[in-house]
A and B are shown apart, each in its own frame.
Chain A
Amino acid sequence: MTVFRYALIRGTRNPLTLLCTYILPIVIIFIRPLWTSAGIGFGGIGGGGFSLLTIITMSSAYLMSLSILTDKADGVIVRILAAPITMCRYLVENLAACAIPLFVQMTFISILGHVLYDWSLSLSIAIFLCYTVLTIASVTMAFAWHCLCKGKEGSVSGFSMLLFLTAFLGGLTFPVEAFPGPLQYLGTIFPAYWAIRGLSAVLDTGVMSGDFWWAIAAMLLFTIAYLLYGGKRRII
């Protein structure tokens, strides 16, 4: 578990990562207007809290997994793989180190939402489930993105554009119904769209309906696709 431990430690060294992963998710849950007022988020869910949490989750996943790209760019990966460790183990431990802090945050948020805003048990579980799967999908997406990019600079600038597109087309900033016909469906290529759509289904009906499970299935399919793509490309 050496790689896992050091990946966690490296994640906390960057102040921005520390802010996004460990502080912001807990802070925003205490901002009541974000979770109660009639929303500006997708389909009118909450007051934008879920959209904000989605953006934070994606950014945290990217920032936490940046160590993979740093290792690749600095050539450290060659020295690590010269040690008796397999590529699979290196990746699994790194990805676990990226995802586990976010899992913990989602657990706290679900519990605090249940306590502060009287979320029902099924809603809390649905939110936890939805954001956990989104976290996995975001981490694997960031991993695939790192494998695609050769330099750190290009990766960061490209991902910031991707994040903007996700927020815009995925209905995180505006309801997708506001877009003209074909544009409404373009956001489906981002996992965040499905997270918001799943949450919307749960908030509308109060139960984990078929639409919710389809959204989870879509995010899991994205996860598999990103893992397969990232695993195929050479990281060294």
Chain B
Amino acid sequence: MKSLAPEVCFYLTNMAGFGLLFALIVSGGEDAGFFLLLFLVVMLLLRMRIPRLKYTVYIDIIVCLGMLFLGNAPLQPMTPLVWQHAPYAIVLPLFGAMYLGVYPAVLAVVLVLLRDFQPALAIVLVLGLLSGLFLRSWNNERKLKLTLRDKEAEKYYALESLQVDLSAALTQVERMASVSERARISRDIHDNAGHEIVAAYITLQTLRDMLEGVDPEVLSLYDAAVERLSSGTDKIREAVHNMSTVKFLGVESLRDICDRFPSGAVVFNAFGDSTKVPMYIWAMLESCLSESLTNAVRHAQATWVKVDLDVTAHIVRLCIENDGVSQFADRSAQMGNGLRNLRHRAGAVGGSLAVDSGEVFRVICVIPIKDQSKEQSNEIINR
């Protein structure tokens, strides 16, 4: 069952109040009371329809007070506008004023009681005020809880998104590591074993001319061996060719992302020795570059993008700049999910990701490079 909201309670209380006042009108048969009630209903519906008009509750109170004061005018009471129960009708606008937080309206209670003090009336007025205040307090508490719940939900969704991104990144790193290993094996076979076998084959071919006058049976065996060596060389060449990757790796991968970017010119510059950068950092840099280029088109409407990659002995720094409108100017420097997740990933590998939204929008990712050879030698020493 849906829980009862303060707003529903407010309207139910008002309906009950209107019902009681209408009962008074029916018993007295006074048109003035009916018109006052109808007017109050219209004003309540108006505030229900347009909540920002909450200060119109003053109009309700003024009309009720006007009817009270005109009815008690000593010299010439305006009979068509008189309703003897008008002081009770003011309870509903006062209740509404307290619920809406229009606190100065409480002065009307003083005016009513100064004009026409009755103990029963005083009790009803105080009851109306307190009920409105309690209902407002309940409403505020409920709103606070809802706000907290929304914030928690937002955090939960951000973490969920980060988890998805990290899983995707892990898969990407695994895939790239596998491709990189294949490339290394293929290179080693081609550069070392392949060259040696080809050299042996050439030597054997040269030796063939020097074997004139040898037993024909021996020559036949020799030719068969050379033929099999030639076939083996072809198979090694084919295997090396098949093992070679078609995917770009490292700097070439970043350049490929820039070249394949659909809109506008992306200028890519790379400096330093990129061979020292491990594969998991390339995966991180690729994600950072893709996200920044997507943002530049989707949110910033950039006309140019510049990408700089600097690799030093200790760090790798990727800087992406564009001339688009500031993406975070109207969101008080809040990052989107994509960049926020990248910042977490950069932090996880000891790096950082910074966003500068000045005249030129800039994303800078800095990641330290661990010297693997030094680490390996340290491990050997420790053993």
Contacts and interface: CB of A to CB of B under 8 A. Distances in A.
B73 interface: no
A218 B38 CA distance: 8
Contacts of B80: 210
Contacts of B22: 189
B42 A228 contact: yes
B35 interface: yes
Contacts of B26: 182, 185-186
A224 interface: yes
B29 interface: yes
A229 B39 contact: no
A228 B29 contact: no
A225 B35 CA distance: 13
A232 B42 contact: no
A188 B34 CA distance: 8
Chain B facing A: main interface SS: helix
Given A185-B26, A185-B29, A228 B49 contact: yes
B27 A232 contact: no
A184 interface: yes
Interface in B1-51: 22, 25-27, 29, 31, 34-35, 38-39, 41-42, 45-46, 48-49
The listed residue with most A CB atoms (<10 A of its CB), out of B26, B29, B48, B80, is B26
A232 B45 contact: yes
B324 to A, nearest CB: 30
A210 B81 CA distance: 13
Contact of A228 (B25, B31, B46): B46
B303 to A, nearest CB: 32
Contact of A185 (B25, B39, B45, B46): B25
Given A214-B31, A228-B46, A228-B49, A221 B38 contact: yes
A188 to B, nearest CB: 5
A202 B124 CA distance: 41
Range of interface residues on B (Cβ < 8 Å): 10 to 19
Nearest to A214: B31
A224 B45 CA distance: 9
A220 to B, nearest CB: 10
Nearest to A228: B45
A39 interface: no
A19 interface: no
Contacts of A185: 25-26, 29, 34
A44 interface: no
Given A232-B48, A232-B49, A224 B27 contact: no
A231 to B, nearest CB: 6
Contacts of B41: 225
B29 A184 contact: yes
Nearest to B35: A218
A217 interface: yes
A225 B42 contact: yes
Contacts of B25: 185, 188
A185 B27 CA distance: 8
B42 A217 contact: no
B59 to A, nearest CB: 14
15 contacts: A184-B29, A185-B25, A185-B26, A185-B34, A188-B34, A217-B35, A218-B35, A222-B38, A225-B45, A228-B42, A228-B46, A228-B49, A231-B49, A232-B45, A232-B49
Interface of B: 22, 25-27, 29, 31, 34-35, 38-39, 41-42, 45-46, 48-49, 80
3 tightest Cβ-Cβ pairs between the two chains A and B: A228-B45, A182-B26, A185-B26
Given A218-B34, A225-B41, 7 more contacts: A182-B26, A184-B29, A217-B35, A218-B35, A224-B42, A224-B45, A232-B45
